[in-house]
Amino acid sequence: MATDRSKLAFWLLLAPCLIWLVTLIILPHVGMFLVSLREKVGVREYETSFANYAVFLNEPLYWNTFARTAYMSIAATVLTLFIGFPISYYIAKLTRGRTKTTLFLMCLIPFWVSELVRTFGWMILLRETGVFSNVLQYLGLAAGPVEMLYNDAAIMTGLVYTSMLFMVVPLVTALDSLDDSLIEAGYDLGASGFAILREIIIPHAMPGIVSGCIVVFMLSLGNYLTPILLGGKDSLWFTGLIYSQFITRFNWELGSAFGFLLLGLSSFIVFVGLKLTGQSLGKTMAQS
């Protein structure tokens, strides 16, 4: 009787989870994969083939954009790590009490705000009639209006800004758990600051570094707003291609193939990152 009831409870709990995952995650992705294998041969007539993937390989614009999106995302990830690490160390190890909470909250707030608003802020700052351009002219450092929007540096600034939090939070968590006395022992034994960083701090923070990097990379790769708005028409971001195939050109077959390539790249990097450091997805995600 009791086991029957607990079995019923189990199935009742399992049902929502399965309905959610099957209808909104698994089936749509299987469906998208099948659509990406469809080649249009006539009106409402399709054949199964890899034609859409061949289009991707044969068109330099497409795979150049793909590669560009990948290496720009890697660059954004590395930059975010290098900028964020000293900040996380400062928050975790050099402050305490109320200052620590305040600094941490100040890192959180920009993330709660919509990405659109953050990007809008950068547009006002960087554009030709923007704040930076005016300040430079006022200081006499520029003769006329300077356009700082619509280039790779602008995209990079926006990407790093948008994903900073996802680096800082896991890093602070990881560094918080490092016992201060280990660092002090290192000093007492005569190690240089750099040696302590390399031998004690970085190895300890590795789980945080990995989960931060994975999340930042995925977010940059899948970002649409920042590259399109800060990079302009020539931003050449892969998500932009997916959007135009789906919404502008109405070529869902090619769009699905692109979507799958992006998903494949993103999953591959996550997989490699986890394997290289011997961590599991569950643990990494729980960190962030």
Partner 1 sequence: MIIGIPQSRAFKWSYRAYVTLFFIYLALPLATVCAFAFNDSVFPSLPWEGFTWDWFFGTEAPYIGVFHESPILRSLVTSGVVAFWVSVLAVFVGTCNAFLFVRHEFRGKAILYVLMLLPLIIPGIILGISILVFSSSVANFLEDATGLWFDGLRPGLILVVLGQFSFITTFATLVISARLQKFDPSLEEAALNLGATHWGAVREVTLPFLYPAMAAAGVVAVLMSFENFNTTLMLVGSDAPLTITMYDRLKLGSTPVLNAVSLLLIVVSALLGLVSLLLQKRKD
| Residues of this chain, 46-75, that bind partner 1 according to CB under 8 A | none
Q: What CA–CA distance (Å, rounded) separates 187 from 155?
A: 41
Residue from 242, 254, 257, 287 that binds partner 1 (CB under 8 A)?
242
Work out how close the CB of 60 gets to partner 1 at its nearest, in angstroms, rounded to a whole number: 23
Work out how close the CB of 54 gets to partner 1 at its nearest, in angstroms, rounded to a whole number: 20
Q: What CA–CA distance (Å, rounded) separates 166 from 212?
A: 6
Residue from 41, 124, 153, 195 that binds partner 1 (CB under 8 A)?
124
Kindly report the number of other CB atoms within 10 A of residue 81's CB atom: 17
Residue from 115, 166, 167, 212 that binds partner 1 (CB under 8 A)?
115
Beta strands of the chain (E only): which ranges?
38-42, 45-48
- Using a 10 angstrom Cβ sphere, with 0-12 exposed, 13-18 middle and 19 or more buried, the burial of residue 226 is buried
Residues 189-228 that bind partner 1 (CB under 8 A): 193, 214, 218, 221-225
Q: What CA–CA distance (Å, rounded) separates 244 from 147?
A: 26
95 binds partner 1 (CB under 8 A): yes
Q: What CA–CA distance (Å, rounded) separates 185 from 255?
A: 56
**Alpha-carbon torsion (17, 18, 19, 24), positive or negative:** positive
Residues 248-287 that bind partner 1 (CB under 8 A): 252, 255-256, 259, 262-263, 266-267, 270, 281-282, 285-286
Nearer to partner 1, 61 or 94 (CB): 94
The interface region with partner 1, picked from 14-22, 50-58, 147-155, 169-177 by CB under 8 A, is 14-22
The interface region with partner 1, picked from 49-57, 58-66, 80-88, 147-155 by CB under 8 A, is 80-88
Work out how close the CB of 58 gets to partner 1 at its nearest, in angstroms, rounded to a whole number: 22
Nearer to partner 1, 56 or 122 (CB): 122
Work out how close the CB of 31 gets to partner 1 at its nearest, in angstroms, rounded to a whole number: 4
- The closest of 138, 204, 195 to 172, measured between CA atoms, is 204
Instruction: Determine the residue type at 288.
Output: S
Binding mask 141-180 for partner 1 (x = CB under 8 A): --------------------x--x---------------x
C-alpha distances in Å from residue 55, one per residue of 49, 88, 256, 258, 261: 11, 44, 12, 10, 13
Work out how close the CB of 285 gets to partner 1 at its nearest, in angstroms, rounded to a whole number: 5
The interface region with partner 1, picked from 48-56, 58-66, 148-156, 243-251 by CB under 8 A, is 243-251
Binding mask 19-48 for partner 1 (x = CB under 8 A): -xx--xxxxxx-xx--x-------------
Spell out a b/e string for 120-155, using b for 16 or more CB atoms within 10 Å of the CB, else e: eebeebbbeebeebeebeeeeeeeeebebbbbbebb
Greatest C-alpha distance within the chain: 85
The interface region with partner 1, picked from 53-61, 148-156, 202-210, 246-254 by CB under 8 A, is 246-254
